[in-house]
Amino acid sequence: MQKRKLGKSNLEVSAIGFGCMGMSWSYGPPKDKQEMISLLHGAVDRGVTFFDTAEVYGPLLNEELVGEALAPFRGKVVIATKFGWEANPNDGGKWNALNSRPEHIKQVAEESLKRLKADAIDLFYQHRVDLEVPIEDVAGAVKDLIQAGKVKHFGLSEASAKTIRGAHAVQPVTALQSEYSLFWREPEQTVMPTLEELGIGFVPFSPLGKGFLTGKIDPNTTFDSTDFRSSVPRFSPENRKANQTLVDLVSSFAEKKRVTPAQIALAWLLAKKPWIVPIPGTTKLARLEENLGAAKVELTADDVRALDASAKIKLEGARYPKFHEQLVGR
């Protein structure tokens, strides 16, 4: 597995990382713990060194899983986690309240360190921008944690270019994690020029369009009520049908290259910039191996331009329900 550096930082990781969320949360009920530990070990065996989790995934379950699974590989892998959410007493204890107050960030860091069984958090992202707390205060709190040796690198998720600049002026930002794929191209206009200018790495989540770009989802696919996609407008049956044009384009491209649509989607991201590291998630070994195979797919400049042209296809449906939609790009 090739390695990449996230921007100008010295944080070197595998060219394809592993998004661990779906093992515990958001894509149906939590999966069998021992099976997921085996899968994470399989990822390490295959050269993956970059693993992504968050306290809210579960909540707490995913950090505990990742911490236990990767404890034998401490020092050989990079684990990213996130702060910024808390249980909402006004909504039955659901984890849907934002809190990026400095004292809360520091408390979360201590608790995450215990669950991850780590001495320091390799990469600590603000999960969503909290408009109640100046981003300079957030960056300052993480700077304190870095100086105390409890955090190594600072990241942001789904932040705007303005917020990235404000944070970076206080504590250099190593990486931005936001949704980016052939299914969601907005970052190309809104944040990527800023990332390139400042030397910040980009970690696209949902690089396979929440599974849509694999070609395995069609208008007849049903989602469990515990599957986040059941509430996403872009995944309504009518919108899946309308958006099939994009999948058809990626699939035909994959046929010519004799690879899978998922591998084309990931190879396109890798070809866009050398500081992009996608983090596809899976709960199956065969899918993990398929995803990692994308690192061997070589796309020419003409290939990339041909795939870029898919931006002309009009895609239907918002990528998030209203509540989540208002929390991105702030």
Catalytic residues, by residue number, are: 57
Cβ atoms of 321 and 233 within 8 Å: the answer is yes
Q: Measured between alpha carbons, how far is residue 64 from residues 59, 77, 114, 286 in Å?
A: 10, 16, 9, 24
In order, the DSSP letters of 225-267 are TTBGGGG-GGGSHHHHHHTHHHHHHHHHHHHHHTS-HHHHHHH
Segments in 19-160 forming alpha helices (H) = 33-45, 61-70, 102-116, 135-147
How far from the centroid of its chain's Cα atoms is residue 214's Cα?
17
Question: ω into residue 193 within 30 of 0, thus cis?
Answer: no
Q: Are 70 and 51 in contact (CB under 8 A)?
A: yes
Q: Which helix (H) or strand (E) holds 52?
A: strand 50-52
Neighbours of 269 (CB within 10 A): 22
Cβ atoms 140, 171 nearer than 8 A:
yes
Q: What is the dihedral of CA 54, 80, 213, 216, to 10 degrees?
A: -60
Count Cα neighbours of 172 within 13 Å in the Cβ-side half-sphere.
15
- Pick from 166, 155, 205, 174: which is nearest to 7 by CA? 174
